Structure 1
Amino acid sequence: MTVGTQMQQAIAGIQSAASTMKTFALETQDKQAKQQYQQIAQDLDTALKTLEKRNQYIQSQEPQYKQQ
C-alpha cells in the first residue's frame, strides 16, 4: 500500500467521523452533547484540512504516489 493510498484512507476516515459527529449534533436535544459533537466535528474538519494539504504536498513532491 502506497503512502498516497494510506493518506486517502485516513482522509476518508476523518471525513466519515466528522459527518457522523455533525449528524449526532443535529439529532440530539441535549445542548451540552450538541456543543461537544459540534466541537469534535470542528476539530476533525481542522485535521482534515491539514491532511489534505499534506496530501497535496506529497503528491507534488512524489508523483509516484498520485492516485491512478
Structure 2
Amino acid sequence: MTVGTKMHQTLTSLEGAAADLKTYALETEDKNAKKQFTDYANQIESIAQGLKGRVNYLESQEPQYKVFQQAQGKMQ
C-alpha cells in the first residue's frame, strides 16, 4: 500500500467521522451535546482540509500517488 493510498484512506475516514458527528448533532435534542458534536465535526473537517491540501501537494510532486485517477482508469 502506497503512502498516497494510506492518505486517501485516512481522508475518507475523517470525512466519515465528521458526517457521523453531524448526524449525531441532528438526532440529539440535548443542546449541549448538539453543540459538542457540531464543534467536533468542524474540527475534523478542518483537519481533513489540511490533509487534503497535503494529498494534493503530494500528488503534484509524485504523480504515481494519484490514487483515485489510477483507480478510475482501471475500472474503465
Both proteins in one fold, TM over 0.5: yes
Instruction: Give 5+ residue unaligned stretches, structure 2.
Output: 71-76
Structure 2 equivalent of residue 5 of structure 1: 5
Please give the alpha-carbon distance, in whole angstroms, between the structure 2 residues aligned to 1:65 and 1:29.
43
Moved over 6 A (4+): none
Instruction: Give 5+ residue unaligned stretches, structure 1.
Output: none
* CA RMSD of superposed structures (Å): 0.5
Q: Normalising by structure 2, what TM-score?
A: 0.87
Q: Normalising by structure 1, what TM-score?
A: 0.97
Structure 2 equivalent of residue 24 of structure 1: 24
Structure ID, larger Rg = 2
- 1:1-68 equivalences in 2 (<5 Å): 1-67=1-67, 68=70
Number of matched residues? 68
